[in-house]
């Protein structure tokens, strides 16, 4: 049993359990939050290094041979996602120390954060579809409580929509899993990939693929299934929004990429065309929705949707080309985009929280003059914002560049045009925030000045500075990072290697 | 038997969706309950139905007798029932709390956070 595959699940579980035991000692819970997430990040990096040198790692739980037991698998894509989960967990844990209010802290905020991270890591590492459902539920349960914790009316309104639509998605996912088991007699993803190649009724499979597309599509917030996201993501405290924005929808994207590169690859002409069309529509509706908003976090929420389109775009392109090289390039674009997006989007949410502390509002109309009062924050906003819009030399530019290259190579010119226009509109949105919140004069003096102590300022700014530095680093050192994405994509395209790693040498 | 269950599952789904579309948070919960029951029965039916044949390995044997049913779908359903129960009870508490705070169980009253 490979310990590195189990640790990303054990560490958050242990941190959560210890935090629960320390229910009344918040100082201890805070310490555990930072230590636990840092350990998760370290473990993720070790896992990534192992997978990079030794190839795909698989481990059979309880020593039941695959496909009968539950398998944990880490290919490069999974390992990258675990690293990012640890990174975002650590950034948000440090940020929470200064931003989370006393009542939420004493009602289990930190244990829930750990459980959320456990669910996310479990979803990234599992090699079994039903187990994926279970991890989804672990993650959802924690996110339900985090979203509603505090019980403000807006939170409850948002939570009802979020909970309802996610439960519907779970029911669909469960139904799809049941039917798939009825057809194939297995739920191990590698085993499914092998057995579904010679199923007699391809029509049933395509219908099933659609069920999975809808179930994961709701979770990933792709068009036309995204309505719960802008209705709920701006309601909880900023630290919670940031971790949701960074990780939750990306679990849906991960599941889509995994299932549609490994299992449902029979009728790509239909399924992946649909994915491509949905990707285009997701990009456009997201960015147009953002253009209509004047609330900082709601603009960012709509941009999540728009960016999800880019990630799905690579998946669609990969299915529609007959050349493995182009498919690899397209998937590498998706992987690169996910990496870039998680860091940038979490950072933007964290910055919106600091803006709220300084300016007393999330409404752009009420904000202003922040460039004059805190130029440092303004620069720190500009880095992820320009990266999101795809300005060189930041990480977003290279993410978009590789997707555009893949689109041209796959001869899907229409979608490339959509990509470029949406990039331009993203720039418009970001300059809107810049002009309103940072550049223009302050419209009215702040009614309740919010003081920050030096310690608080330090805890709020440290994660922002680190994530911004990472964005710049990914931009400057784009080549090695892109090589990593490319290797991850090669593993996604090479299904045989995955199947061999899980099942051993097929007889 | 499969046909009968298939019709039943269809009815559960239809009733669930209908209830979810009504303007009441309480009916929304009931709809979700029916939907998850439908999904559980669907797994049960899709896994194959075999009557009066418990999947038990006889003493001295090492394999299941031929025509034995597959016990795995039932294990899946058990897990799904437990998860569904906990998630739905959370949803029930959440909706109750929302009803107390917002003072209405009409989903249309929830629009505010969307604007």
Minimal CA–CA distance to A474: which of A407, A409, A388? A388
Q: Can you give the pLDDT at residue A151?
A: 82
pLDDT confidence bin for B61, thresholds 50/70/90: confident
Number of Cβ atoms within 10 Å of the Cβ of A171 = 24
Q: For residue range A158-213, list pLDDT tens digits in order.
A: 899 999 999 999 999 999 999 999 888 889 999 998 888 877 678 888 999 999 99
- A435 vs A233, A383, A429, A430, B100, CA distance in Å? 23, 15, 10, 9, 41
Minimal CA–CA distance to B6: which of B46, B37, B35? B46
Burial label, B82 (beta-carbon count in 10 A; 0-12, 13-18, 19+): exposed
Q: How many A-B residue pairs are in contact by the CB < 8 A criterion?
A: 108
B30 touches chain A (CB under 8 A): no
Task: Report yes or no: A192 and A183 within 8 Å, Cβ to Cβ.
Answer: no
Range of the domain at A424: 3-503
Kindly report whether the peptide bond that precedes residue A67 is cis, defined as omega within 30 degrees of 0: yes
Question: Locate tokens 């009316």: which residue?
Answer: A153
Q: How many domains does chain A divide into?
A: 1
What sign does the dihedral A341-A255-A142-A227 (CA atoms) show? positive
What stretch of H or E contains A60? strand A57-60
Task: Report yes or no: B11 and B29 within 8 Å, Cβ to Cβ.
Answer: no
Q: Can you give the pLDDT at residue A393?
A: 84
For residue A154, what is the nearest residue in chain B, using CA coordinates? Answer: B113
For residue A173, what is the nearest residue in chain B, using CA coordinates? Answer: B39
Residue B104, pLDDT > 60, answer yes
For residue B99, what is the nearest residue in chain A, using CA coordinates? Answer: A156
Collect all residues of chain A within an 8 Å Cβ-Cβ radius of residue B93: none
Q: Is A221 left (phi over 0), alpha (psi -120 to 50) or beta?
A: left
Point out which residues pair with A59 in neighbouring strands. A72
**Distance, C-alpha A387 to centroid of its chain:** 17
What stretch of H or E contains A71? strand A71-74
DSSP H helical segments within chain B, as ranges?
Answer: 2-21, 25-46, 72-102
Mutate to test the interface with A, among B80, B102, B106 (most CBs of A within 10 A): B80
Collect all residues of chain A within an 8 Å Cβ-Cβ radius of residue B102: 153, 156-157
Minimal CA–CA distance to B4: which of B50, B52, B45? B45
**Distance, C-alpha A1 to centroid of its chain:** 28
> b/e per residue, A472-499, with b = 16+ CB within 10 A?
eebbeebeebbebbbbbbbbbbbbeebb
Question: Locate tokens 């090669």: which residue?
Answer: A490
The DSSP code for B69 is P
Answer yes or no: CATH 1.10.3470 is held by domain B2-50+70-104: no
Average pLDDT for runs of 10 along chain A of length 507: 87 94 90 94 95 90 83 94 95 91 88 95 94 94 92 87 92 93 89 83 87 94 90 90 93 94 87 93 92 89 93 92 90 94 94 87 83 87 90 88 92 91 91 87 68 82 93 91 93 90 71
pTM metric for this prediction: 0.93
Contact across the interface for A137 and B83, Cβ inside 8 Å: yes
Select the residue of A134, A137, A163 nearest B94 (Cβ to Cβ). A163
Tell me the C-alpha distance between A153 and B97, whole Å: 10
Minimal CA–CA distance to A249: which of A233, A266, A261, A265? A233
Contact across the interface for A158 and B113, Cβ inside 8 Å: yes
Collect all residues of chain A within an 8 Å Cβ-Cβ radius of residue B28: 164
Minimal CA–CA distance to B27: which of B97, B105, B79? B105
Contact across the interface for A179 and B36, Cβ inside 8 Å: no
ipTM: 0.92
Task: Report yes or no: A388 and A348 within 8 Å, Cβ to Cβ.
Answer: yes
Q: Can you give the pLDDT at residue A507?
A: 43
Nearest-CA distance B101 → chain A (Å):
6
For residue B45, what is the nearest residue in chain A, using CA coordinates? Answer: A182
Select the residue of A137, A175, A231 nearest B113 (Cβ to Cβ). A231
Query: How big is chain B by its Cα radius of gyration, in Å?
Result: 20
B70 touches chain A (CB under 8 A): yes
Q: Can you give the pLDDT at residue A439?
A: 87
Contact across the interface for B46 and A181, Cβ inside 8 Å: yes
Minimal CA–CA distance to A315: which of A246, A175, A217? A217
Task: Report yes or no: A294 and A251 within 8 Å, Cβ to Cβ.
Answer: no
Nearest-CA distance A184 → chain B (Å):
10
Select the residue of B32, B76, B110 nearest A157 (Cβ to Cβ). B110
Contact across the interface for A175 and B73, Cβ inside 8 Å: no
Kindly report whether the peptide bond that precedes residue A393 is cis, defined as omega within 30 degrees of 0: yes
Q: Can you give the pLDDT at residue B114?
A: 52
Tell me the C-alpha distance between A371 and A362, whole Å: 16
- A183 vs A43, A128, A198, A245, A301, CA distance in Å? 38, 16, 11, 36, 39
Rounded to 5°, angle at Cα A275 from A272 and A279: 140
**Average pLDDT of B28-33?**
93
Domain boundaries, chain B: 2-50+70-104
Query: Residues of A near B (CB-CB distance < 8 A)?
Result: 130, 133-134, 137, 140-141, 144-145, 148, 151, 153-154, 156-161, 163-164, 167-168, 170-172, 174-175, 177-179, 181-183, 185, 230-232, 234-235
Mutate to test the interface with B, among A181, A293, A301 (most CBs of B within 10 A): A181
Minimal CA–CA distance to A223: which of A319, A337, A116, A310? A310
Residue B115, pLDDT > 60, answer no
């Amino acid at each position: 049993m490979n310990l590195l595959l189990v640790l990303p699940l054990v560490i958050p579980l242990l941190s959560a359990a210890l935090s629960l035991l320390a229910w009344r000692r918040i100082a201890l819970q805070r310490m555990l939050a930072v230590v636990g997430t840092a350990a998760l990040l370290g473990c993720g990096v070790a896992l990534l290094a192992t997978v990079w040198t030794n190839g795909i790692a698989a481990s059979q739980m309880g020593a039941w041979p695959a496909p009968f037991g539950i398998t944990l698998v880490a290919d490069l894509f999974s390992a990258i996602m675990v690293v990012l989960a640890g990174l975002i967990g650590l950034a948000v844990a440090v940020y929470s120390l200064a931003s989370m209010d006393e009542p939420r802290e004493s009602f289990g905020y930190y244990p829930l954060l750990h459980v959320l991270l456990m669910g996310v890591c479990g979803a990234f590492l599992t090699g079994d579809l039903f187990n994926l459902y279970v991890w989804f539920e672990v993650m959802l349960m924690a996110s339900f409580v985090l979203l509603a914790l505090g019980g403000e009316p807006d939170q409850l309104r948002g939570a009802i929509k979020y909970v309802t639509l996610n439960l519907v998605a779970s029911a669909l996912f469960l139904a799809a899993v049941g039917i798939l088991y009825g057809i194939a007699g297995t739920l191990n993803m590698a085993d499914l990939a092998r057995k579904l190649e010679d199923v007699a009724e391809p029509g049933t499979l395509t219908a099933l693929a659609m069920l999975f597309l809808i179930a994961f599509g709701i979770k990933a917030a792709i068009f036309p299934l995204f309505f719960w996201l802008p209705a709920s993501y701006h309601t909880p405290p900023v630290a919670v929004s940031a971790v949701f924005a960074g990780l939750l929808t990306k679990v849906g994207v991960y599941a889509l990429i995994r299932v549609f590169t490994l299992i449902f690859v029979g009728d790509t002409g239909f399924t992946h065309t649909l994915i491509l069309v949905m990707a285009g529509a997701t990009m456009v509706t997201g960015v147009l929705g953002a253009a209509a908003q004047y609330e900082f976090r709601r603009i960012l929420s709509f941009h999540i949707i728009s960016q999800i389109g880019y990630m799905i775009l690579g998946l669609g392109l990969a299915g529609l080309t007959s050349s493995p090289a182009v498919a690899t390039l397209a998937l590498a674009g998706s992987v690169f985009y996910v990496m870039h997006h998680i860091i940038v989007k979490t950072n933007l949410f964290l910055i919106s929280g600091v803006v709220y502390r300084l300016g007393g509002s999330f409404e752009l109309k009420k904000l202003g003059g922040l460039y004059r009062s805190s130029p440092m924050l303004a620069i720190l906003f500009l880095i992820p914002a320009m990266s999101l819009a795809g300005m060189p030399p930041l990480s977003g530019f290279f993410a978009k560049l590789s997707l555009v290259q893949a689109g041209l190579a796959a001869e899907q010119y229409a979608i490339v045009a959509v990509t470029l226009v949406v990039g331009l509109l993203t720039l418009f949105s970001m300059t809107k925030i810049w002009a309103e919140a940072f550049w223009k004069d302050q419209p009215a003096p702040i009614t309740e000045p919010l003081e920050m102590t030096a310690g608080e300022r330090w805890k709020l700014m440290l994660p922002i500075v680190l994530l911004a530095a990472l964005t710049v680093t990914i931009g400057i050192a784009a080549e090695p990072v892109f090589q990593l994405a490319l290797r991850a994509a090669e593993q996604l395209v090479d299904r045989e290697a995955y199947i061999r790693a899980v099942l051993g040498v097929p007889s | 038997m499969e046909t009968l269950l298939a019709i039943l599952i269809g009815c559960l789904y239809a009733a669930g969706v209908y209830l979810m579309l009504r303007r009441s948070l309480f009916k929304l919960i009931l709809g979700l309950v029916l939907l998850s029951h439908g999904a559980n029965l669907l797994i049960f039916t899709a896994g194959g139905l075999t009557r009066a044949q418990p999947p038990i390995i006889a003493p001295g044997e090492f394999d299941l007798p031929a025509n034995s049913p597959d016990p795995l779908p039932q294990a899946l359903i058990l897990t799904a029932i437990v998860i569904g129960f906990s998630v739905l009870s959370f949803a029930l508490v959440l909706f109750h709390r929302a009803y107390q705070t917002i003072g209405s169980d009409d989903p249309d009253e929830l629009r505010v956070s969307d604007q």
